[in-house]
Amino acid sequence: MSPISLNHTHNYKLPLKPTSTLTFSSTISPRSSCKFNRKYRVPIICSSSSLNSDKLESKSGVGKWVFNFAAGAVAVASIFLDFDSPAFAESLTIAFPVSRSIEVNKVQRTLIEVWGLIRESFIDPTFNHQDWDSKLQQTMVEMFPLRSADAAYNKISGMVSSLGDPFTRIINPKEYQNFRIGSDGNLQGVGLFVNAEPTTGHLVVVSCVADSPAARAGIHEGDELVEINGEKLDGYSSETVAQKLRGRAGSTVKVKVHSEKDSAFSSNTREVNLPREYIKLSPISSAVIPHKTPDGHLSRTGYVKLSVFSQTAASDMEKVIHQLEDQGVQSYILDLRNNPGGLVTAGLDVAQLWLDGEETLVYTTDRDKHIFPINMVDGHAITHDPLVILVNEGSASASEILAGALHDNGRAILVGHRTFGKGKIQSVTELHDGSALFVTVAKYLSPLRHEIDKVGITPDVQCSADMLNVPKPSVVKDKNAGSALEADSCILVAEHELDAQQSEGTAS
């Protein structure tokens, strides 16, 4: 298998990847196509403006299904799975009752789209050791007596949840529109980024927007959201929770939060009324941190904090690096702490700003265990100055891809704490009714093929005050750096590592 190359725009076809067509009453649907990102040739379906998870996006579903049957009739669907070789061809015929409710009938159409997309691309070919074909027929029968679209969507959600993957899910049209909010950097809400913890499903705060209502209320990364407006959040996706937290600026939302670390309150669980405000999301901030090296020289370190991998993350970072280079910085600290992820492609674009040549940025593995390297093509780094990356438990998904790419290629030292451990990639497909299906279609490995999912990345150096060898007075006060940076022990540890790199470079 040849490498998947960046900046290569020819079509790439995934071996043995099935596509689906359905026949209803002699009407044949168009073939579905697995769409690849044209720049990276990533073997997944789409690319998205998600603010809190790693995804790629397609605007087309499995096809246009025809439902022109009389109410209550039995529909017969013939599903043909076409592989590259005729030896892999197979067909399946399923009979199901068509609902008399127009609303439910429309959701039945969505169900078939969902079923087909999952059947052709879900990362587990056993579908959690269940008969996925029978699951379609069973769910159709369960939908038949229903009278509302919401109840029908719940049936689809139940079918999808039977796969046992918290990242594979369907969201309704309104939730999907809210999910896409943030591409322009503005939303109305409380300033929280929330992810579902992979093993428990608990909804954990991975970061708060600075000076947001949530931050002012003392909510911290690692806290668990238990209820919103008195409603328990068991089984809810992070997108659903985000939609519940958003709302008109000036309104309020009541949240119940559980914290293991919070000693400022008498109970670890508390309720907080949060006002909603206009939240400005800026994915990147920077500062110059001057400090004295152990040999007494003045050094200038460029500090760059990336909060999320949005559509503009790479272009914004490129501008910032050029600005810092113009200011004469000699080293860099890239802060990915509490960065919950975002666009896979944005993470890959950012990695290219720091690397030369044709380095492998990440490997992906599909449902058939095929491994695909994603490589740079004739890369040219903006700077070769020493680099330290800060990570912690809130660094997830695209943050882990970037940290792994720069670390395994010998470009950066990692300082901090073990990362979150989300090594799965989802496709996001907008369905015919405006809803969206998230499907886990691949896992990723670091360039040295280290497992990340449910494991995380262990940094080279832990950052804690007792490990700090550089005395705090060596930091030169500078209003641009800010007192918060000067007091951050992880940044001080990073500066020590940069001093060591620069010293080794001089000696050689």
Whether residue 179 contacts residue 242, with contact meaning beta carbons closer than 8 Å, is answered with yes
Distance from C-alpha of 62 to C-alpha of 112, rounded to nearest angstrom = 8
CB 294 within 8 A of CB 470: yes
- b (16+ CB within 10 A) / e for 176-204: bebbebbeeeebbbbbbbbbbebeeeebb
To 10 degrees, the CA torsion angle through 221, 171, 426, 370? Answer: 140
8 Å CB contact between 82 and 116: no
**Beta strands 360-365 and 331-335: pairing type?**
unpaired
Give dist(CA 394, CA 286) in Å, integer: 20
The tokens describing 488, both together, are 């951050």
- In 12-67, the DSSP E strands lie at 19-24, 27-28, 55-58
Q: Which residue has the tokens 């009324």?
A: 273
- Token reading at 3: 């490498």
CA 270 to CA 254: how far, in whole Å? 10
C-alpha distances in angstroms, 138 versus 30, 95, 97, 135, 165?
25, 10, 11, 5, 20
CB of 347 closer than 8 Å to CB of 309: yes
Considering 422, 427, 443, 446, which one is annotated as catalytic?
422
Integer Cα distance of 280 and 286 in angstroms: 16
**Angle CA 26–28–32, to nearest 5:** 160
Both tokens of 265, joined, read: 């309150």
422 part of the active site: yes
- What are the b/e assignments for 62-96, b being 16+ CB within 10 Å? bbebbbeeeeeeebebebbbeeeeeeeeeeeebeb
Closest CA to 340 of 419, 410, 247: 419
- 336, 324 contact by CB (below 8 A): no
Residue at 27: amino acid letter: T
Q: Where do runs of H (alpha helix) occur along 353-408?
A: 398-408
Query: What residue type is 67 in one-letter code?
Result: F
Quickly tell me which residue has 């959701």 as its tokens: 107
The one catalytic residue in 157, 307, 395, 397 is 397
* Helices 398-408, 344-352: inter-axial angle, 10-degree rounding: 30
Catalytic residue ranges = 397, 422
